Amino acid sequence: MEKDRVILPLTAVPKKWYNIMSDFSGELPPPLHPGTGQPLGPADLAPLFPMALIQQEMTPEKWIEIPDEVADALKLWRPTPLVRAGRLEKALKTKSRIYYKNESVSPAGSHKMNTAVAQAYYNKQEGVKRITTETGAGQWGSSISFACNIFGMKCTVYMVKVSYHQKPYRKSLMKVWGAEVFASPSEQTNAGRGILKADPNSNGSLGMAISEAVEDAATHDDARYSLGSVLNHVLLHQTVVGLETKEQLKIAGEKPDVLIGCVGGGSNFGGFVIPFIPDKLKGQGIKMIAVEPSACPSLTKGVYAYDYGDTAKLAPLVKMYTLGHGFMPPGIHAGGLRYHGMSPILSMLAKKRIVDPVSVKQTKVFEAAVLFAKTEGILPAPESAHAIRAAIDEALKNEDKCIVFNLSGHGHFDLAAYDNYLEGKLEDFEYPEELVQDALKDLPKV
C-alpha cells in the first residue's frame, strides 16, 4: 500500500453508518407539517418515504447497520481511494500536504450513489414500484436511475430545465439505466403547469423540480419520493465517505488540520466531516470548511429560519439556512449547488460554528478546476471544484498542514461549462443583498 494513495480492501467498506444526531440529542429543531405548522410524525411522511428511511430520519441511535444488499452494491466502487495531490502541491509550491477523497469513481461519477443504493433498497423492501425524484446537475438523477435499475424499480426524474439543455448526455445516461426524464417545470404535474402558466420560459430550479417529484409520489400509491441531499438520512448514508477517510488518514500517518467540501444541500460535505466531529468536540483542532457559490450563498448570506424545502410549499418546513423558497438562482454551471436551502444538520453545525462556511466565485472555481485537471489529471465536477478552490486557497497560506478535500464527482458531462470558461464566457455573479432580503419576506411565520 503506497502512502500517497491509500486504497482499502473491499472488506473495509464500512459496516455501519454514523449518526451525528446522537451527539446533539434533542437539539435539532423538528420538521413541521407544511399545512398545519405542527411537528411531523412518521405517519405524515409515509406518503413520501418508506418507513425504514423515516425511522433513520428521526433516530437518535449512534450507529446504524448497513444491510448486506446495500454493502454489496457499494462494493461495486467502494472503498474509494484517498490520494495525495503531490503534483498540485508542487505547482503551488506549498508546505501543506493536500489529499483528496476520490468519490468520482462511482458508476454515475459522484458521491450521490452512496445514498442512491441505500434509498432504492429500502423502497424495494417496502414494495415500492417506482421512485420519483428531481435532479439539478444530473449526478443525482443518474445515481438513483442506476440504483433503481439494480433493485428492479422504475424511476421518474424531473430535471431542472437549464441543466436538461446544458447537459443532454446526463439525460441519456439516465435513460440507459431505464429512467424516464422530464425537463422541469413540466406539463406532468399541477405544480409544473402552474409555474409554466406564470412563466412559460422558466429555467426551472431545484425547488420547483422537488415540488413536481413530491406531487407525483404523493398522488400515486405505488410510488415514493427520493431526495438526493438535505435530509438527515441522506447525510447518514454519506458517512461512509468520512469513515473510510479516517481509516485512510491513519494509514497515511496523518491527522487532518483542514477538511473541505462543497455544499449544495450539504450531503457530500456532511458525510465527509461528520465522522470527524466527535474528535473536534473532544478538542482536536480540525477546521471544517463548507464551500458554496457566491451566486447561491445560503450559508453565508441566508438566514437560519424555518422554510419550505420546495417552491410549491408541498415539502415539510425545516429549520435551515435559506435564501427563501422563492429564490430563483442565476444559471451558473454548478447546477448541483443551486438550492435555496441547506441540510438542517449542517445548518445547525454552522450555527454552532463547528463548520465554517465560505463562498467563492465561479471564474476562480474554474481556474482551480483547470489547475487540478492539469496537475492531477482528473477533470472535476464544477461543484467539486468549489472544494478544490478552497483547498488551494488554504494551501497558498503555505503552512505545515494536512488539508483534505472531498472530490465529490467528475466533470465528464460538464464539458460545455469548461468550454465556456476557456472561451472567457463565464461571468461571476454575487447574489445581491436586496434580492436576499426580498426573498426572505415570504418566509413562513412559525
Ligand X SMILES: Cc1ncc(COP(=O)(O)O)c(C=O)c1O
Least distance from ligand X to the Cβ atom of residue 311, Å: 18
C-alpha cell of residue 35:
399545512
**Nearer residue to ligand X within complex by CB, 13 or 291:** 291
With contacts defined by CB under 6 A, how many residues of the chain interact with ligand X?
20
Q: Using an 8 Å Cβ cutoff, are 406 and 100 in contact?
A: yes
Which positions from 374 to 403 touch ligand X by CB under 6 A, shown as an x/- string? -------x-xx-------------------
Residue closer to ligand X by CB (options 214, 252) is 214
Task: Give 196 or 332: the residue with its C-beta nearer to ligand X.
Answer: 332
φ, ψ at 97 (rounded to 5°): -100, 125
**133 in contact with ligand X (CB under 6 A):** no
- By CB under 6 A, is residue 140 in contact with ligand X? yes
Q: Does 248 bind ligand X (CB under 6 A)?
A: no
Please write down the HEC assignment for all residues of 213-231: HHHHHHCCCCEEECCCCCC
Pairing of strands 97-102, 82-84: antiparallel
Tell me if 181 contacts ligand X by CB under 6 A: no
245 lines the binding site for ligand X (CB under 6 A): no
| Nearest CB to ligand X, comparing residues 13 and 337 | 337
In the DSSP assignment, the letter for residue 38 is S
Q: Give 155's strand partners.
A: 131
Q: Which is nearer to ligand X, 71 or 299 (CB)?
A: 299
- Decide: is 262 part of the binding site for ligand X (CB under 6 A): yes
Cell reading at 12? 473495509
Cell numbers that stand for 11 in this block: 472488506
Q: Using DSSP, state whether 19 is helix, strand or coil.
A: coil
204 scored as a contact of ligand X (CB under 6 A): no
Which of 70, 174, 289, 337 lies at the binding interface for ligand X (CB under 6 A)?
337
Nearest to 312 by CA among 213, 217, 232: 213
Report the nearest approach of ligand X to the CB of residue 211 (Å). Answer: 18
Binding ligand X by CB under 6 A: which of 50, 79, 136, 297? 136
The answer to whether the beta carbons of residues 423 and 119 sit under 8 Å apart is no
Of 267, 294, 322, 359, the one binding ligand X (CB under 6 A) is 267
The nearest distance, CB 1 to ligand X, in angstroms, is 27
CB burial class (10 A; 0-12, 13-18, 19+) of residue 30? middle
Q: Does 272 bind ligand X (CB under 6 A)?
A: no
The single residue among 133, 268, 298, 359 that binds ligand X, judged by CB under 6 A, is 268
Q: How many CA atoms lie within 13 A of 358 on its CB side?
A: 18
Cell of 362: 465561479
Q: Using the structure block, give the residue that is written with the C-alpha cell 438562482.
A: 329
Footprint of ligand X on this chain (CB under 6 A)? 110, 136-137, 139-140, 229, 262-268, 336-337, 381, 383-384, 408-409
